[in-house]
Amino acid sequence: MNRLRRKACVALLLFTLFIFGTMMGLRTLKPTDGFSDLAPGMELMPGVGERTDQRPNPLAEAAGRNGIGSDTKIVFSNSGPDHSIFYDIHIFYYLWYGTPQMDGSYIHWEHVLVPHWDPKIAASHPNGRHNPPEDVASSYYPDLGPYSSRDPDVIESHMAQIEAAAAGVVVLSWYPPGVADEHGKASEDLVPAVMDAAHRHSIKVAFHLQPYKGRTDLSVHDNIKYIIDKYGKHGAFYRFKSSTGKVLPLFYVYDSYLTPPETWAELLTSRGSHSLRGTPYDGIFVGLIVEERHKDDILSGGFDGMYTYFASNGFSFGASHQNWKAIKAFCDKSNLLFVPSAGPGYIDTAVRPWNNHNTRNRVNGRYYETSLQAAMSVRPDIITITSFNEWHEGTQIERAVPKKTVARLYLDYKPHQPDHYLELTRKWAEHFSKEKEQWLM
């Protein structure tokens, strides 16, 4: 009888482990976008190992500004001279990391464990902060180790990796001089070094305007003027060519919904009291869509388009792949750009230990390819990648390596190599370019 009981217990344990493993795998498919979405066209694509990339030739200087245009939709496949880098693939990039050697202390790698706003939930999760270099604020460990964004060798390595991924535009997370996020230090002084390194690799730089205390339409007016005056003549400064032939700088505005649309309209519509339209500081302004109502707010605020940013499918209305077709239809009707954001996965429990329900497992790259296929399926003008190096949220495609310490076992890209997600990005960038050629025929 005891022997039967032991066998029954072993069988029950194995069954439980099977169910748990199955459920963890299914989590990556939320809400309803399964791997079946990946199928169309995949069998015709080259494998990751069948790379056709070459070192790009130096690009010509950015075209001069030609005024404004009401139609912001791109009309050509924007690629380098030998199709080895693609300017319709934009990748979000962060400059907020620091080390004792370069910055006097670790910055962001020692990020605090953010407590939940409900004290009862917060009490059931760990608190404190991370302790680099062995314990960093990420579920993955960078190939470069916990690095400083001020290190010229790090910047050079990053631009080389982005070039290898064929992403033509770095979207630089930007704060005004002397301003930083609540966990970091000011980094605007690093922008020239990033632009110089980007230019050496034929990469362009756009700006991702971050929220800060006191951000208003008037302060953003000053921010745009500062950026264009200081960087507008640099060879790496990105400009977007519209279907009317106008060439204008492109700006992503993070958390744009924090400012009312009628306030944005003072800046972004021609009738605004301090409008940028028709001035030397005009541009293409892309707001963030999180909730469905933000579609109308972005339109009435005078923006030229909307992007989704978040890499966790189902996290928000805008980040849900199943909503992208409807958002794109709205944008087409309203003459707006729709810029979907694809990501390799999501896991931020190293900084938000209570947020496990928003984790999206990578499944060895399958989640990323599903996301990229969903983005391509709506025929966008630009695809953004979230991200190159947002390590806290586990959305990075930067090289990561296996790492085990006494206290931690980091996730990694095995069974693939550290550059797996760079190679996947190149594969899909090339595919996107070929698809656009077919769309425009």
pLDDT digits (tens, 9 = 90+) for 269-306: 999 999 999 999 999 999 999 999 999 999 999 999 99
Contact between 432 and 355 (Cβ < 8 Å): no
Using CB atoms within 10 Å of the CB of residue 212, give its burial: 0 to 12 exposed, 13 to 18 middle, 19+ buried. middle
User: How confident is residue 82, by pLDDT bands cut at 50, 70 and 90?
Assistant: low
User: How confident is residue 10, by pLDDT bands cut at 50, 70 and 90?
Assistant: low
Residues 108-117: what's their mean pLDDT?
Answer: 96
* Stated pTM of the model: 0.84
Residues 75-85: what's their mean pLDDT?
Answer: 55
pLDDT at 47 over 60: no
Find, among 232, 234, 387, the residue nearest to 310 by Cα: 387
Quick one: pLDDT at residue 72? Answer: 38
Cα 178 from Cα 164, distance rounded (Å): 33
Quick one: pLDDT at residue 380? Answer: 97
Residues 80-99: what's their mean pLDDT?
Answer: 88
pLDDT at 167 over 50: yes
pLDDT at 165 over 50: yes
Quick one: pLDDT at residue 84? Answer: 86
Contact between 112 and 129 (Cβ < 8 Å): yes
User: How confident is residue 55, by pLDDT bands cut at 50, 70 and 90?
Assistant: very low
Residue-averaged pLDDT of the chain: 86
Lowest mean pLDDT among 20-24, 33-37, 98-102: 33-37
For the chain, give the percent of residues with pLDDT over 70. Answer: 81
User: How confident is residue 15, by pLDDT bands cut at 50, 70 and 90?
Assistant: low
pLDDT at 416 over 50: yes
pLDDT at 25 over 60: no
pLDDT at 69 over 50: no
User: How confident is residue 159, by pLDDT bands cut at 50, 70 and 90?
Assistant: very high
Quick one: pLDDT at residue 439? Answer: 86
pLDDT at 180 over 70: yes
Residues 158-165: what's their mean pLDDT?
Answer: 98
Quick one: pLDDT at residue 77? Answer: 39
Cα 337 from Cα 253, distance rounded (Å): 14
User: How confident is residue 440, by pLDDT bands cut at 50, 70 and 90?
Assistant: confident
Q: At what angle do helices 217-231 and 261-268 cross, to 10 degrees?
A: 40
Quick one: pLDDT at residue 57? Answer: 34
User: How confident is residue 430, by pLDDT bands cut at 50, 70 and 90?
Assistant: very high
User: How confident is residue 63, by pLDDT bands cut at 50, 70 and 90?
Assistant: very low
* Domains of the chain from N-terminus onward: 89-440 (3.20.20.80)
pLDDT at 211 over 60: yes
Quick one: pLDDT at residue 20? Answer: 55
- What tens digit of pLDDT does each residue of 346-405 get? 999 999 999 999 999 999 999 999 999 999 999 999 999 999 999 999 999 999 999 999
Cα 407 from Cα 428, distance rounded (Å): 37
SS (H, E, C) 321-339: HHHHHHHHHHHHHHCCEEE
The structure tokens 């953003």 sit at 220
pLDDT at 56 over 50: no
pLDDT at 127 over 50: yes
Element (H or E) spanning 154, and its range? helix 152-164
Quick one: pLDDT at residue 89? Answer: 98
Quick one: pLDDT at residue 27? Answer: 47
Residues 224-253: what's their mean pLDDT?
Answer: 94
Quick one: pLDDT at residue 12? Answer: 59
φ, ψ for residue 285, nearest 5 deg: -110, 125
Find, among 364, 365, 373, 366, the residue nearest to 342 by Cα: 373
Residues 55-60: what's their mean pLDDT?
Answer: 33
User: How confident is residue 142, by pLDDT bands cut at 50, 70 and 90?
Assistant: very high
Category of 394 on φ-ψ map: left (φ > 0), alpha (ψ -120 to 50) or beta: left
